[in-house]
Chains A and B, each alone.
Chain A
Amino acid sequence: MDAEHHSATPSPTPSGPGRASADDSGGAEGLDVLARELADLARALQSASSPQEVLDRAVATAVDLVPGAAEGTISLVRSRRTVTSAAATSAAARHLDELQTELGEGPCLDAVYTQRSTRVDHLARETERWPALAARADEIGLPSMLCLQLFVDGDNLGALNLLGAEPAAFGDTSEHVGLLLAAHAAVAVADARDLEHTHLGLAHRDVIGQAKGILMERHRLSADQAFALLASISQDLNRKLYDIAADLAATGELPQRPQHRPQQRPQQRPQHRSPRPGDR
């Protein structure tokens, strides 16, 4: 994919928060610093224990490293309609995603689908492309944006959005550093999702097993009876069986059934403390 970018207005020198980049920390030495920071980031992202942790670290690091960045989000767009913040460094950054969903326009809903990066120097002046969003730009309080594509999957999109506290806060250096970070973040996010898919199945099996064991010991039930009780509560509460089991395993308490129906009592209480052979 070509590294195209769109700039709404000419880009001045980067300014504002964000650590020194390759350009402003001096030639080859600056590049070495950036390379080390990227390697550190890659290791940090790989060592994160959950997709959410990966997202949180990625957006925080981007705000820290990209010149001009004051706040940021990692946004997920579904069906070119709904923009949600998967991770955000502030409520203001999150509000940008809410506004895009509410108004049905904004960079995440069009430009970032086709361009790997999109720079907005002054959101309030984007009256032609996103007139409704431009009119409410003051609600965000951060006038400039740098939007970086993480992945496009049909009508779904992932983007790293950085916000600047000053107009035209992002320059070419910001964009180069941002694109490198986005490449790392995209790999890490995809890895984390793969890993979570694999782990979730195993975790579900064990949590449901633990919940069965708790009920078997508490009410002297067989494994099948314990499972049936979980399934029955799941159905009554219209919640996933795993969620019921996870609540029980974490708190020791079963979620309450609706008031209009009395709590189902176990019907069989074997004499022995432990289930007998053949119960399972």
Chain B
Amino acid sequence: MSAEPQDPSPELRLCGLAREAVGWDRVVVVVARDVDTRAALRGSDPVLEGYCDLQQTLLQGPSLDAFTAGTPVVVDDLHARLPWPLLASVTPADLPVRSMAVVPLLVPATCSSAVTRRAAPPRPALGVLIAGRDDVDPFTPAQVAVLAHLAAVVAAVLVHRAGTGELIAVDADPNDDLAVVGGMLAEHLGASAGEALSRMRAHAFTSGRTLNELARAVLAGEVAVEDVAHPR
């Protein structure tokens, strides 16, 4: 018996309304506090989610740039020359996604005035919305503009639901493997969570895994905590 498809979160259902207007094969909505504290929302595409994991592991890529700079990033062809050399060197040859657009989910403007419009300060990002196409078919500026409008609506819904606690409790990926293994490693080393994450990142890179894949392997008993702490 095949599994039922995931019931998408309200944010992903909203995205579905714009799919025909923009055109994409895959979409992900990720809510994030920082590079290492993030969660994809229910109904996100697993392939794009995996590509986000890879970027988190390497600390580089279009999603990180869009999140930290608060501006859209477009990649015409993921298999062509990329401005992220490390990411390019380990991107799987069989990654089905070719063209990608990443737009930040910016904190919605809660009120406006002539003064605030004039000052136009940068707004912090709550996460990113990523659309991907399986063919080389670059996103046009007009399509990115539609995605930015969509992201504004998604961010407003997201903030509203975060205030009620429903967002994280119901619709965010509940997987805490990375945090759990980070805690195990911090205890093993007698070090901070940050140091533990650095060791995990190094091990993941050398073993050809993403951070989340490494965490799953540790919890499954396939990789010993000691090996991550002190690689041979």
Binding site for B on A (CB under 8 A): 35, 38-39, 42-43, 45-46, 180, 183-184, 186-187, 190-191, 194-195, 197-199, 201-218, 223, 249, 252, 272-277, 279-280
Contacts and interface: CB of A to CB of B under 8 A. Distances in A.
B184 A194 contact: no
A211 B193 CA distance: 10
B225 interface: yes
Interface of B: 31-33, 37-39, 107-111, 113, 115-116, 118-119, 121-124, 126, 158-159, 162-163, 165, 167-169, 172, 174, 176-188, 193, 218-221, 224-226
Contacts of B181: 213
A210 B180 contact: yes
A225 to B, nearest CB: 12
Nearest to B158: A198
Query: Of residues B124, B165, B180, B224, which shows the largest number of chain A Cβ atoms within 10 Å of its Cβ?
Result: B180
A187 B180 contact: no
A194 B33 contact: no
A274 B222 CA distance: 9
Nearest to A209: B179
Given A42-B116, A273-B224, A280-B219, A203 B158 contact: no
Contact of A206 (B37, B186, B221, B224): B37
B123 A202 contact: no
Given A180-B115, A184-B119, A191 B186 contact: no
Given A198-B159, A210-B179, A210-B182, A203 B110 contact: no
B39 to A, nearest CB: 6
B176 A208 contact: yes
B219 A202 contact: no
Contacts, number: 154
B213 to A, nearest CB: 15
Contacts of A183: 111, 113, 115-116
A35 B116 CA distance: 11
- The 6 A-B residue pairs with the shortest CB-CB distance, nearest first, are A213-B183, A209-B179, A201-B168, A209-B176, A210-B183, A190-B110
Nearest to B220: A277
Contact of B183 (A201, A203, A209, A275): A209
7 contacts: A39-B118, A183-B111, A206-B176, A207-B179, A216-B180, A217-B184, A274-B221
A202 B38 contact: yes
Nearest to A272: B221
A204 B123 CA distance: 23
Contacts of A180: 115
Given A43-B121, A206-B37, A217 B176 contact: no
Given A191-B110, A202-B38, A214 B32 contact: no
Contacts of B37: 199, 202-203, 206
B121 A198 contact: no
Query: Of residues B39, B121, B193, B226, which shows the largest number of chain A Cβ atoms within 10 Å of its Cβ?
Result: B121
Nearest to B38: A202
Contact of B115 (A38, A45, A215, A223): A38
B116 A201 contact: no
Contacts of A272: 221
Contacts of B179: 205-210, 212-213
A212 B33 contact: no
A9 B226 CA distance: 74
B121 A186 contact: no
Given A46-B122, A274-B218, A201 B167 contact: yes
Query: Of residues A39, A194, A279, which shows the largest number of chain B Cβ atoms within 10 Å of its Cβ?
Result: A194
A38 B119 contact: yes
Contact of B111 (A190, A195, A199): A190
Contacts of A213: 179-187
